[in-house]
A = this chain, B = another copy of it.
Amino acid sequence: MPESRVSPTDVWKRYEEMKHNPASLDLTRGKPAPEQLDLSSELMTILGPNDYRAADGTDCRNYGGLEGLPEMRALFAELLEVKPDQVMAAENSSLSLMYHTLAQAMLHGVPDGSRPWADQKPRFLCPCPGYDRHFSICEDLGIEMIPVAMTPEGPNMEVVERLVASDESIKGLWIVPKYGNPTGVTLSASVVSGLARMKTAAPDFRIMWDNAYAVHDLNDTPDTLANGLAEAEMAGRNNRLWLYASFSKVTFAGASVAAMASSVANIAWMRKHRANVTIGPDKLNQLRHTRFLKSAQGVRNHMRKHAAILRPKFEVVQRVLQRELGATGLAEWTRPRGGYFVSLDTQPGRAARVVKLAADAGVKLTPAGSAFPRGKDPFDRNIRIAPSFPSVSELERAMGVLAVSIACASAE
């Protein structure tokens, strides 16, 4: 039995003490900590004053190169197990690539489709809890969202398969396939296979495969993710997946390189439309990244240093939650082996109250419901915990506040 298990009689007292001496801590966003950024300090100075040529002789300072540098495409290709001509390497934001993909689909339609999506009242399946910024893109572009429950293997495939088979207005599905945001769930092999192969009423159905945490393992027994693009290709559904990845949480979160991978036809389609948006990405930053990271193995070696910093933080989250709430039944939470988040469910109807109590005691959490389309958690129970940015001791304190806030909200 945990020694300091919370009893309803003393939690308010503990809460008032915490509130009296408030923390000033932020668990809202999956930001790397400064020590993680320091791991890439070599990137700041890796190019000398005349060191601006790509391997093929391209002057990276000048205009051009809409698909990205060949060596940058090759590095993403190696990591994502695709061919370099299936990759477009871009600016610092994979979110921006996702937005543009869907904006172009809305305006012009996609390969396998006959019309702009905007003319077809398109709808997207949104496994949730999921990533709030995915849902914001749908809201911005006017794509209706249909929530689908997540299971420990991925989205509920029975529901997904039934919906996509019968409704041709359903044009796509969002998914973070590995260490999902916020659940930490990695899709099982059978879910990957199901998504790649399933019959869809819409001939131009697409999966937004946001592989944001492709190499972001916390320990030496990481989850493995099946190759969705290869599965789709084997099933004759070559254009089904649009894959996104970035080095944002590998090097510098705000100053890194993002990429998109898909079939050659999808990449050509994206290139055509992107030519109206930009003359090309920052190739110097791509050159910095290829010089620094070198190869897929170089990336993996580098990620072990991140894991060494992040692991103790994820352990604190588990330790405090287990200690304070482990035997109470007041909450359930995930135990991810990678990624940036822990997803916690309170008893139904408590999450918003918990977030408010924690805020009043100086701990900022992502607003309750954020992980659901339009910010509406039907059960008001989900809270996303982002433990990466604070120090271990700050995190220990913040998690204490959160746990006591949960106990208080549950005792009301």
Contact = CB atoms under 8 A, between A and B. Distances in A.
Nearest to A41: B49
**How many A residues are at the interface, by size bracket?**
35 or more
Contacts of A275: 136
A32 B62 contact: yes
Contacts of A92: 91, 278, 281-282
Contacts of A91: 91-92, 282
Contacts of A41: 49-50
Contacts of A285: 255, 282, 285
Contact of A49 (B42, B108, B254, B277): B42
Nearest to A256: B282
Contacts of A47: 44-45
Nearest to A141: B107
A254 B31 contact: no
A75 to B, nearest CB: 19
Interface string A52-85: 1000000111111100000000000000000000
Interface stretch (A93-101, A173-181, A367-375): A93-101
Given A60-B255, A283-B255, A276 B52 contact: no
Residue of A45, A52, A254 contacting most chain B CB atoms (<10 Å): A254
A280 interface: yes
A10 interface: no
A213 to B, nearest CB: 15
A62 B389 CA distance: 10
Interface string A196-213: 000000000000000000
A63 B62 CA distance: 26
B277 A254 contact: no
A317 to B, nearest CB: 21
B62 A31 contact: yes
Nearest to A103: B103
A137 B273 CA distance: 10
A348 interface: no
Contacts of A273: 140
Nearest to A34: B59
A51 interface: yes
Given A95-B278, A278-B93, A285-B282, A62 B44 contact: no
A276 B61 CA distance: 29
Nearest to A108: B140
A254 B276 contact: no
Contact of A44 (B52, B107, B255): B52
Nearest to A40: B61
Contacts of A279: 93, 95, 133, 254
Given A107-B140, A140-B276, A282-B91, A51 B62 contact: no
B61 A254 contact: yes
Nearest to A93: B278
Contacts of A253: 61-63
Nearest to A249: B63
A29 interface: yes
Interface string A252-272: 111100000000000000000
Nearest to A29: B63
A125 B93 CA distance: 33
Interface in A1-50: 29, 31-32, 34, 37, 40-42, 44-45, 47-50
A327 to B, nearest CB: 37
A50 B44 CA distance: 8
Contacts of A45: 45, 47-49
17 contacts: A34-B62, A44-B51, A44-B52, A45-B48, A60-B254, A61-B252, A61-B254, A65-B254, A95-B279, A99-B277, A103-B103, A108-B140, A133-B276, A136-B275, A139-B276, A254-B283, A255-B283
Given A92-B278, A139-B276, 4 more contacts: A60-B255, A62-B254, A107-B142, A133-B276
